[in-house]
Amino acid sequence: MAEKSFSVLDLLDIELEGRNALNLRCVGGRRGLVAKISVPDAVLTGLALTGFYEGFSSDSVQIFGIQEVAYLSKMDEEKRNEVLRKIFSFHPPCLVFAHGISPDEDFIRVAEEAPCAVLQTNLEATDFCIRLMRLFSDVFAPKKTMHGVLLEVCGIGVLLTGHSGVGKSECALELVERGHRLVADDIVEVRCVNGNSILGRGANALISHHMEIRGLGIINVSQLYGVGSVRDQKEIQLVIKLEEWSQAKIYDRIGTGIDSVDFFGVKIPSILIPVKPGRNLPIIIEAAAMNERLKRKGVDSARDFNQNVLKWIETGEARSAYYNVDDSY
């Protein structure tokens, strides 16, 4: 059961465009618009119209397509009203007529008695279900907010984390200057979609493309660098933690150690980059992003290096090189 509070009215009012648009309007049962959609699912009412209710997904959005409407039209008025009242007795969140079909007055009257909202879309039933499930996967996705900066670097979604003042925003600004794109600064909303994809975006769409640069203040990245310098959301594919360089700490110099961050059961590769004066962090982050792209293509530089060293040792060349070293220098 989803914890997200999402009503039929929210579904009707949500603004979607292009291939995501649902093209919904309410044609009856307006008192039922306050009903909550608790299950992110949509089903064709189908067998329930025949009187078979075992396994009936009454908590799902009910879809009436061409076949459902044709089946109802074959019933006499008394039988049809009996079937509809039985379906409404399960208290479905709403009913949607696809293909631009308009329900008759008797249907609307029974829906008003329930009350249950009756919606209409000009989309085909299958297309509508696909779009609705795509919306539900976003609305009902588990999510949380965290402190960090999210960018698209070389096509890879990179989440920069670290203590406040470590230089995340300044580093991100340099990356934007180098042609990469900002998704969100400071507060990032992280959510799990389809159980295996971690998407990130600004927690507040109105300010997500603004950055706070100490000593400079708030800047609008899209206005300074153009709309091509930002994007609304991106899948998080690499987490980079920035921390102050510590002499007492031993940092990975080869890259064979595999660390990850767990987001809702999905593990995202993670690396730690120490920060100190003189290090060019934007270039290091670029290299990390490109290296991650190579790993996704099956090329692991650290692993290949390690294997080549082992092969070198096995050939005996390493021992010969060691004993032939001229110590006069």
Active site residues: 147, 168, 186, 253
CB 147 within 8 A of CB 187: yes
Torsions phi, psi for 206 (to 5 deg): -75, -25
How far from chain centre, in Å, is Cα 208? Answer: 16
Distance CA 287, CA 308 (A): 21
Distance CA 169, CA 257 (A): 27
Tell me the two tokens of residue 325. 């070293």
Beta-carbon contacts of 30 under 8 Å, excluding residues fewer than 6 positions away, are 115, 117
Distance CA 18, CA 34 (A): 27
Cα distances from 210 to residues 23, 182, 223, 274, in angstroms, run 33, 9, 10, 26
CB atoms closer than 10 angstroms to residue 116? 25
**Per-position DSSP letters for 99-157, written without gaps between them:** TT----HHHHHHHHHTT-EEEEESS-HHHHHHHHHHHHHHHTS-EEEEEEEEEEETTEE
CA nearest neighbour of 237 among 262, 192, 265, 269: 269
Cα distances from 69 to residues 63, 106, 118, 126, in angstroms, run 10, 13, 14, 15
- Provide the β-strand partners of residue 44: 63
